[in-house]
Structure 1
Amino acid sequence: MDATLQDPLVGQVLDGRYRVDARIAVGGMATVYRAVDTRLDRVLALKVMHPTLAADGTFVERFIREAKSVARLAHPNVVQVFDQGTDGSYVYLAMEYVAGCTLRDVLRERGALQPRAALDILEPVLAALGAAHRAGFVHRDMKPENVLIGDDGRVKVADFGLVRAVDTVTNTTGAVLGTVSYLAPEQIEHGVADPRADVYACGVVLHEMLTGQKPHEGESPAQVLYKHLHEDVPPPSAAVPGLPYALDELVMSATARTPEVRPNDAVALLAQAREARAGLSEEQLDAVPPQARAQEHDNAQDRTSVIPRALAVPRPLPVNEDAGDEQVLHRTSRLESPPAAPPRRRPARGRQRLVAVVAALLVVLGVGAGVWYINSGQFTEVPPLLAKTEAQARQELKDAGLGVSVERDYSDTVERGTVIGTDPAAGARIRGNGSVTLRISRGPETVKVPDLQGYRLDKAKSVLKDSGLEPGMVTREFSDDVPKGFVIGSAPAAGTERHAGSAIALTVSQGSPVEVPDVTGEDLDEAKADLEGAGLTVEVSTERVHSEFDAGQVAAQTPDSGSEAAEGDTVTLTLSKGPEMVEVPDVVGRSVDDAKQELKAAGFKVKEDRGLLGLFGDKVKKQSVKGGDTAPKGSTITITIR
């Protein structure tokens, strides 16, 4: 039976707009449905929060706040958020609908992927994360389930910022294992996550794509968490022999247990991924790992076949189309034709033949030994030494009979004192008495933050880039000392040492604050003159409202009077349509309490006039505006009491 038939939301219309057609998936935080926006007539995905979470006001507030933030993140590889709202007990997000499958579906059906396929998926994921990181977002929950692959081949990242706390992922063992497999050590140990936590998760996902298995597995979440904290992610080549060293280096760089050793964000990791791809041959990119599962079903029905080139089966060897059938059949024969029968010899020459055969064999053996000595015997293969300490690398080379020389260089991704690379590279053949140059990391190159105070914002950004740093978040503050548009300071402060490529936050002056004058009740021209005289810009709203002020006068202003604004900021004025005229109820002869209640309900203020004779009265003798006449809403009606 279709599970969607049992879902009470299927067939309903949320918020009078979104018709729920089918349930797509159920997660730990929400259920996702395919729905139709009846107003715009388009298919979308509707993510509805589970009722237990929707009852938590703090969680809902965070959910809404982050949804609004993510909606501003426009990137072709990010699932877009269109709308957010509530309908009774349902809290929902309306998002872009991606028809296709998830990366988890691909891995489940295909096992390990070819390097080209893995990079074809990884690069758009990093592009999406990079845009988010530079905009101040951290995903915190990168995993194959959140990578969507559309029927048109596009790769998109879902659930930006809409994450659950780590300690809430405790419902079932399977769900826990599915999440903790991608958590960075600092998320587990300290509960903190910055862009480098997303980088770590991407490294784990790449390892899984290349090998078909997660790097750390265990029978319980605790075992997996322990491995993330205390064991390095193994190089993919340990599971897939022959995998290029560049891919090992890419995975190990992204999954370094120390955050400072990893690339700073997804942009930096994307650059490394593209550099690694550029160094691989077509054969290396298209090599099929032994863990890949063959596809027995028709490729036309394969949901994962939409990835361009990525998941294609290996191409067959080319066939010589000009050759005849017989020639094709025998093209792998060692001889062009059967060997001729040896001529008959006289028995008297048999001894000479035997000597000749023995001599020929000796010659062959001698030549073979010489070839072996030239090609193999005197050569040694350079061992893989990436991420080993200098002492460990020296010992391995010594054991292999190779000499050692050392060069040192800065590295943002490799820990100080460990091997960045070798020359010749790992796997290369070198003469047995040859020497290998070790490139040892000095650790990250540090850069002093320049003093940017007094620079215009554009100039400050240029100075940061020239110094090897990146401009970060810009905040604006009022300042009586620093002109508008110029830098007040930076975080971290000038003189602080930071890794090359680090983002530096800037505080920029809005100039001296301007107090917004009160112009309500003024004519439009007069209000404009007052505001522009204070250095502010005026915008008039097209909306008109009833108010106590005459038609054409200012009924309201935004921001309110007394607020602080920067010079040149805009104040929006809403003009009055004049007072709203309301019929006055007839309250003569009514008790005072009833009369006051009825007048106030009609929108009037009430004033009592008791005089000397009405001190102890309880009835309305007359009213200032006769019943049935009209008066401005909000005006005062005086009642005389007897």
Structure 2
Amino acid sequence: MISKIKSLIKPPVRDSFQGKTDLESRDEKNFFRMALGIILGTLLVLFFSFMITFFVSVRGAEQTLVPNVTGEYLIDGLINLQEKELYPRIQVRYTEDPLEKDHIISQDPKAGSVVRAGKRIKLTISKGAVVDKVGSYTGLNLSDVKTQLQTLFASYKPLMVIKEPVVFVFDDATAGTILEQEPIADTPLTGLTELIFVVSRGPVGKKYNIDDFTELRWMDAVNRLVRSNQPFVFTLSEDEPGNNSVVLKQVPASGKTVMAGTRINLTISTPKKLARDEGFGMIELTLPDYPVSVDLTVERTETAGRAETIMEMKHPGGRFSMPYREKIGTEITVKIYDEVVKKITVE
């Protein structure tokens, strides 16, 4: 009995190396295991969190369907893109239809394409037509307005055209001046619009006495006629050659009273001699009868490429003929408002 009691009260055995009892040693081991488990668990949680984040980032944004915004008003199209988490990249340009202003006229990628959310969609926005309203043309010259419209719509479909035939009336304003227009200035353009003009013919024709051109060299006669914008027609007389090719006859005769713009017919002699490298002849053509005199120009271009204006004048149209004496190979060109209507090469 006493031996049992002694065994119960026997002091615990101490670790010879650590100087600790068995109970203390077990507690420390359990604590160490628990701490190690917590650390390993934390590391595992961090590892799995990192892997999940990595794969989500690699996977990227969700895919979405590109909506059809072509033809929509800009604001409406932007809202539709925003709902799909898409963003615009905008560029603008003029179009032929003024009603397309501020509307989306094209998109890239096309509607129905599958893209990632956050992608930028290229949108082309219309700035409308080059002009969106009728200009003020009253008081301007008809030829200038035609040139202006041609330049304005050189790269785009025309939105304004001048209705033909133009109405011409006698007026104190300079010939060719636009007196009235329809539609009026600032009328909005919604499509192709015809411009109706009333244009001045100039004052009622004045009368004057015909000069005497006989015995003048033909080029001197041309210069005098051009200065007064008097239309003329030259013809050759084969029967009476002369050294300098002078005017032999004129109709109407000198001193006769005629209306301004009356055509003068001049008959000239054929030159007797020409240099070996010269050619002589007549450039002839029939022009339309213009309601207002147009700018007529005659130019020559030498074989070396040098160009020179021989004459320029206002011409009412109809028959036109003029002599030439130039070096062989020279090109002679007749133009109306810089448009070539006749070209010959001297032979």
Q: Higher RCO, 1 or 2 (CA under 8 Å, sep at least 6)?
A: 2
**TM-score, length-scaled by structure 2:** 0.34
Higher-strand-fraction structure: 2
Q: Which has the larger radius of gyration?
A: 2
**TM-score, length-scaled by structure 1:** 0.21
